[in-house]
Amino acid sequence: MNRTRPVETLLAALASFTVAFPLLTLFDSNTWVRPSLVIIATIALVGLGLRTLAASVWPVLLGQAVAGFLAIAWMHGQGHLYFGFVPGPDTVTSLGILLREAGDTVMAYSAPAPTERGVVVAITILVGVTALVVDAIAVTLRSPALAGLALLTAYLVSATNSGEGLSWRYFVLPVAFWLSLLATQGIGSVRRWSTAVPRGVDGQDHDPVLGVAGTARLLGAGALALAVVLPMVVPHLPTTFIADGLGRSDNARGGGDAVTLNTTVDLLRSLEDQSQSPVFNYTTTATASDPLRVGVLTDYRRGQWSTSLDANEVLTGGPDAPAGDAAIKRTNINLKVKDNRLQAPQIALPTPLVGVDLGNVPLRSNLVGNYEVDKKIDDYTATYSQLAPTDSAFSLEGPRPRGWEEGIYSEINADGMDRLQELVDSVVPEGSSPLETARLLQAHFRSTQYTYSLQLPTPTDPVSGRTMMADPLTNFLVSRTGYCVQFASAFILAARLKGIPSRMAIGFLPGTYSKGSYTVRAADAHAWPELWFPDLGWTRFEPTPGVRTGGAPTYSLIPTSVDPSATATPTPTGATPSPSASERPDSDSGAADNTTSTSSGPLAWAVDNLLVLVILLAVVLSLLLLPVAARLRRQRLRSAARDDAERVEAEWASLISRLGDIGIAPPDGSTPRQAGARLTHDAILSGEPKEAIGRIVATVERARYAPPQAEIPDVHADARTVWKAALSARQRSDQVRAYLVPGDGVRQWRETKDSVVAWPRNAWSRLRRH
């Protein structure tokens, strides 16, 4: 017997290597791949040699462990080796420091985390331990089935720390190598059994193992296929992260309807997907609702905001909102939240908070005024103040906020500060007041010089065209493209440069208003800066462009009644002077002069712009193609129905299709009752629309089981009621897409194309028959 077992060794090494592939989704580069290959090859080759020389198991395991440690020390401990190649206590200390750095990285960054040197060391050790355990169990101890547990553990390290389900490709490769390893050793074991199989009818000896192996291969392939297909119909389980930062994803986490807002905000991340899952509904007495805050972030480190303060102070006497100046006009606003899906300890509350009714659940706070609860609350009420301050209230004279002495609101990270200081100097004139500083910074970031985008560009050097590996703040200031996190971060650090206490708040925009209440979805998550003014407390500003947030608070806007030329403030160096009213593109000055240009009449103007009119007409007609086709298709299906039952089925299919256009669809194969329950939940139906879909479901069930030609009520009116209610609760972009690109219209044009393509073939077939 060959004790080296080269085939099994190779399969074990390949399984150990491929099971680490999911780590590619958790880190931003693959610099760990090469050292991982080296450590796997070292353990495999040493195992091959020692199994030839040693009959016992322990010398093989000890030799592989020592060889693996030496390989790690030679790759990552350079400068800490005796005579340049002998590891010692200093080597172990240096590796320990690198591992602590790796721990800090995965605790601070959400995936994909930066692949720093400590991370590479940690992954190399993790892969090496996996390779050692798999080789020892599967090859040396000849128990490949048990080695599957070690491979599963290594796979789960990545799978349970991903915000979304891993691709099936990451699963298939290690499982295929493990099954091959299992089959190789299994066939060898079966061949050693004694057998009394007779010769075949052809007189030849037939290998009895082939039948067993064929059955085993069939079972293995079936199990692998089932393992790949089953997760496609099972929802991704809640993220179970071993590292508080690494396991977080941009998407909401939690099981079922639970939603948790990520409290580690990373400037490097692009928001590729925005969930439309509802978070909560609320009503308010305010004519214009304000954002609702969930958390406060104070610490900025290497492009990421976080806070390390726990909310351990129970507020028995109500919220500790600052008293402020009594002369400032305050309007108390009541807010009532329903169907809250935000997971504890997080809770969405308006600010500045005056009072809150959480039932018997206590409200806790920390040093920076971040509110938390002990358990999830479905319904609660809150009262807050809407301020109407005068400019004199925005003074820094007075008490500093709690935590100021600890440097919580004044610390500035060094990355990108030179460029930010240059921007502040060009935007804010010397001697500006705190309010003027905040207003000028906000106006600068909300100007057309910046672009709001969920996709973050990679800045390139304008001369060489090469990618600039700058810090995230510099990337934003160079590209001038980002979303709320980038705009708020630059604003906060700029305000801190001017000595104004500043911090980041995270929460939700007011949401979508419909029929007297607001619906807040996960896609409404937002970040904004809060500045401290003793007479006002923490005050919201809005540097993110209005395309996302709408209008900024009135007090934060630069007064338009002031003539810039009449002020003593000079135009900052490098800043673009504000255009006068007559110079603005949207100005109405000179409108009287423009009327003379049309003296030749509208007919002459139409002739001069005939091409433009034709293009506009073509655009309008093209936009109407799909909506008209969808309408005709629905009418055709209703008119083609032979009885009331088919007409009800046509209405039901049309409603399902139209709801699918706005992202609301029941599971495949669901019954009408299951589909109705799912649609009611996802579309957030209540009142008459909820009753209407109940009547539709009951009518569909009756139509399917009623005798032929039975009279069944029409559900067209109820279907319109449900459709209008569901559509009104969606975002404007979803509404436009549903009108312009309806699924029924796409299907109608596809059927038309297929019939046109098939017509010559059908005509030729008929001609041949004749």
Residues 604-642: tens digit of each pLDDT:
555 556 666 677 777 777 677 788 888 888 888 888 888
pLDDT value at 152 more than 90 = no
Residue 593 binned pLDDT confidence (cut-offs 50, 70, 90): very low
Which pLDDT value is given to residue 131? 92
Closest CA to 538 of 291, 267, 757, 732: 291
pLDDT value at 274 more than 80 = no
Exposure class string for 475-510: b at 16+ Cβ within 10 A, else e: bbbbbebbbbbbbbbbbbbbbbbeebbbbbbbbbbb
Q: Which two tokens stand for residue 270?
A: 């692009």
CA atoms 450, 455, 460, 462: torsion sign = negative
User: Do the Cβ atoms of 275 and 522 come closer than 8 Å?
Assistant: yes
Report percent pLDDT > 90 for the chain. 20
Give the Cα separation of 97 and 345 in Å (integer): 33
Q: Which two tokens stand for residue 51?
A: 């199994």
Q: How far is CA 191 from CA 195, 208, 210, 215, 518, in A?
A: 9, 9, 10, 15, 71
Higher-scoring residue by pLDDT: 111, 145? 145
User: Do the Cβ atoms of 243 and 106 come closer than 8 Å?
Assistant: yes
pLDDT value at 488 more than 90 = yes
Q: Within 10 A of 761 (CB to CB), how many other CB atoms are there?
A: 9
Contacts with 515 (C-beta within 8 Å, 6 or more apart), sequence order: 687, 725, 728
Give the HSE-up count for residue 519: Cα atoms under 13 Å, Cβ half-sphere.
21
- The tens digit of pLDDT for each residue in 553-564 reads 989 999 875 444
Angle at alpha carbon of residue 501, lines to 498 and 506, rounded to 5° = 120
Which pLDDT value is given to residue 40? 93
- The tens digit of pLDDT for each residue in 90-104 reads 888 888 888 888 877
Contacts with 420 (C-beta within 8 Å, 6 or more apart), sequence order: 473, 477, 490, 493, 494, 497
On average, the pLDDT of the chain sits at 77
Residue 108 binned pLDDT confidence (cut-offs 50, 70, 90): low
- The tens digit of pLDDT for each residue in 56-103 reads 888 889 999 999 999 998 888 877 888 777 888 888 888 888 888 887
Residue 293 binned pLDDT confidence (cut-offs 50, 70, 90): very high
Which pLDDT value is given to residue 216? 54
Contacts with 535 (C-beta within 8 Å, 6 or more apart), sequence order: 324, 325, 328, 389, 393, 394, 395, 398
User: Do the Cβ atoms of 428 and 440 come closer than 8 Å?
Assistant: yes
Give one word for 231, left, alpha or beta, with left for phi > 0 and alpha for psi -120 to 50.
Answer: alpha
Enter the DSSP assignment of 343. P
Residue 406 binned pLDDT confidence (cut-offs 50, 70, 90): confident
Amino acid at the residue 704: R
